[in-house]
Amino acid sequence: MMTTPLIEVTRLRKAFGRHRVLKGIDMRIEAGSSVVMFGPNGAGKTTFLRILATLSKPTSGTVRVAGVDIRDNPEGIRQYLGLVGHAPLLYDDLTAYENLRFYARLYGMEASGERIRELLERVGLWHRRHDLVRTFSRGMVQRMAIARALLHNPPILLLDEPDTGLDPQAAEMMTDLLREIGGSERTIIMTTHHLERGLALADRVLILVGGEIVFDQPASDIDYQELRPLYDAYVGEGVVA
Amino acid sequence: MSLSRRLLDILNFLALIAMLIAVYMALIEAPDAINVDPAIRPAQRIIYFHVPSAWSSMLAFFVAFIASILYLITKRVRWDIWARSASELGIAFTIAAIISGSMWAKPAWNTYWTWDPRLTTYTIVLLLYIAYFMLRGAIDEPSRRARLAAVYGIFAFLSVPLTFMSIRWWNTIHPVIVDNPENPNKFGLGPNMRITFMFTNIAFLILFVTLLANRISLGWAEERLDALKEKLNF
Amino acid sequence: MKRYLDVVWAVLWKDLRIELRSKDVFTSMAVFAVLAVMIFNFAFELRVPDKTVVIPGVLWVTITFSGVLGLGRSFISEKDRGSIAGLLLAPVDRSAIYFGKMLANLLFILIVEAFLLPLMVIFFNTNFVSPALLLLLFLGTLGFAAVGTIFSGLAVNTRTREILLPVLLFPVMLPVLMAGIRATIGLMEGDSIADLAKWFNLVFFFDILYIVVAYLTFDYVVEE
């Protein structure tokens, strides 16, 4: 029986100076679930993901991954995390292959050649492997970013608005890619501004407003027609996906 | 009135009294220094101001150094306030020491500026802590400002003895032209002078503690003001 | 430990690879160094009876000023492209990233020196290079890269960035500069390392002290 959730967030608070970004988040995420988080700009979504990724330290409260407090062993926990952020985390002056080779070494992967080939083929960039990343389109860069995040096959994948700045076609392609890699074992936590696209991937929906969770339901219980007005009220319509 | 406010008032009063006595002792009570040229005997009394200022500045930077370390360990706003308050006071006392030093140098050595190791070191230290405040001024987000300033504060303080040593060794290639005016033993302070010298040092210590306490209390007031401004979206 | 060294090496390799492609940093450092030496040459030519007496000062000042150009870039590209987060996600103690970048900076400055020294020998028409001088330059550059790398990480988080770096860096570097210049004078006058031991020791102590302090504090520079 699984009793401890994969990720357990308790009374998580984060303040920058006096500016409180997260005001006490409690959350349990089971292994294998796909959590999609909505919220207006400045709601604290990025900060939340950055704390999970150990890039930012909580002001108070705890985050446990597989029962281990991230403060006790951040190095160990990073091995289990993949992050796709606003920035692609790639080097323009390295080729696609060199970028992945570099990250493979950061993750201590010995023979990474096969894995890199597998990932580049999956995201459809194997034929461009020897081209500098600076020559790639936004959509290609984003696919590279996903390949990079998956390199060490992390059981947890954090995605911070991976569809922002993509044209609809590229965004569609990415949704398919994410569905494909999600599978049943990988846990995905994603933020997005696009309601439909988010719902297509989610099995649990959260809305974060002003550093607090105001909505948390399994996707199966959600009726789109009911969620839409709620979403508009919280997140606002001014946000373009 | 809160207890801390009352304590601060007592401290302020004590510092005032101590400084008044110090001025009296330095200017009237202490005898002339007989072993220096009569023309510069009045100027010699600067020692009672100059040396305590220099010591106070080092004490201030040391407090800032410790507070910086404590900030990094605890991340408490308190230690950031301590660090920046002490650094500010350190700058003030350093300037006082440099100016009083050159006021002595002019009549004694007929120049406002010598490349004396201590004077040069103090000038570098002044630049170090000006850089510290430039760093602070260039960061908007308060917790990042406190964190990065603390790192710089540690590097800066540790460089002071190295700078002093390198400048002193450097100067040994030249003959030592003048005896060091800051060294009371070489100067041969008489018993009365020594009492005055000790008392002014204690008075400056009290002054330093008082100013630091006031500056820290002001620091807290700044924090509260910023919080209020933010609440009112000012 | 092997994991740690692997990451140090990977970061170093990455910075070198990018530099070999773009040559941005090295080119500006080298061009600046040549210009500085030429300007110094003109500045001293008419007023200084024997130009070789200014070699120690010109050497160290040129290295410091051209070095700070390269150091300034060290974290700026990472920060602007957001790739710093990619480094910080590595499952290893973050000081490994510091050491990787520090070694890359050390190497860049050493390469500039390798280029600067023969140039100065030609311009000043004096061979002042000796093994002892190379050791001194290496020790001085190590301290410079050690402090410069972490200060570059500080400066990149500020509004003023590159402008601030020399202001932060030079007062802290003063002991190394003084020791470097003074020991170079000694070496050119024929003193042995033993005669100049205190200067070598001072620089060596500086290196050890600040590498340790940087190791202890780098985490605080990059955390949020």
Is C199's Cβ below 8 Å from some Cβ in B?
A: yes
Q: Give every residue of chain A whose pLDDT is below 70, as ranges.
A: 1-3, 182-184, 237-241
Residue C126: count other Cβ atoms within 10 Å of its Cβ: 14
Contact C82 A93 (CB under 8 A): no
Residue of C nearest to A87 (CA): C82
Contact assessment for residue B116 and residue B28, using Cβ atoms and an 8 Å cutoff: no
Whether residues A12 and A24 fall in one domain: yes
Contact residues, chain B, for C217 at CB < 8 Å:
72, 151, 154-155
Enter the ipTM: 0.94
Contact B152 C154 (CB under 8 A): yes
pLDDT confidence bin for B234, thresholds 50/70/90: low
pTM: 0.91
Domain boundaries, chain B: 3-231
pLDDT at B185 over 50: no
Contact residues, chain C, for B150 at CB < 8 Å:
220
Contact C179 B144 (CB under 8 A): no
Identify the CA nearest to C135 among candidates C185, C193, C93, C210: C193
Domain boundaries, chain C: 2-222
Whether residues A104 and A14 fall in one domain: no
Distances from the Cα of C132 to the Cαs of A160, B23, C179, C208, in angstroms? 54, 55, 14, 19
Give the burial class of B78: count Cβ atoms within 10 A of its Cβ; 0-12 exposed, 13-18 middle, 19 or more buried.
Answer: middle
Q: What is the domain range of residue A139?
A: 87-153
Q: Measured at the alpha carbon of residue B213, what is the angle toward residues B212 and B216, in degrees to the nearest 5?
A: 80
In C, residues 10-49, which contact B (CB 8 Å cutoff)? none
pLDDT per position as a tens digit, B186-223: 455 677 788 888 899 999 999 999 999 999 999 999 98
pLDDT in tens, chain C (224 residues): 888 999 999 999 999 999 999 888 899 999 999 999 999 888 887 778 887 889 999 999 999 999 999 998 889 888 888 889 999 999 999 999 999 999 999 999 999 999 999 999 998 888 999 999 999 999 999 999 999 999 999 999 999 888 899 999 999 999 999 999 999 999 999 888 888 999 999 999 999 999 999 999 999 999 87
Q: DSSP strand E in chain A: where?
A: 7-16, 19-29, 34-38, 60-65, 68-69, 81-84, 156-160, 187-191, 204-209, 212-218
The crossing angle, in degrees rounded to 10, of helices B3-24 and B191-231 is 150
Q: Which of A121, A153, A185 is where one domain is finished?
A: A153
Is A15's Cβ below 8 Å from some Cβ in B?
A: yes
pLDDT confidence bin for B115, thresholds 50/70/90: confident
Q: Give the pLDDT score at A237.
A: 55
Q: Give the pLDDT score at B172.
A: 58
Whether residues A51 and A99 fall in one domain: no
**Cα–Cα distance, A222 to C20 (Å, whole number):** 54
pLDDT per position as a tens digit, B122-159: 899 999 999 999 999 999 888 899 999 999 999 999 99
Residue of B nearest to C167 (CA): B131
Contact C82 A55 (CB under 8 A): no
Give the burial class of A91: count Cβ atoms within 10 A of its Cβ; 0-12 exposed, 13-18 middle, 19 or more buried.
Answer: buried
Whether residues A175 and A239 fall in one domain: yes
Q: Report the residue count for chain A.
A: 241
Contact residues, chain C, for A142 at CB < 8 Å:
none
The more confident residue out of B171 and C117 is C117
Q: Which of A102, A134, A153 is where one domain is finished?
A: A153
Contact assessment for residue C143 and residue C203, using Cβ atoms and an 8 Å cutoff: yes
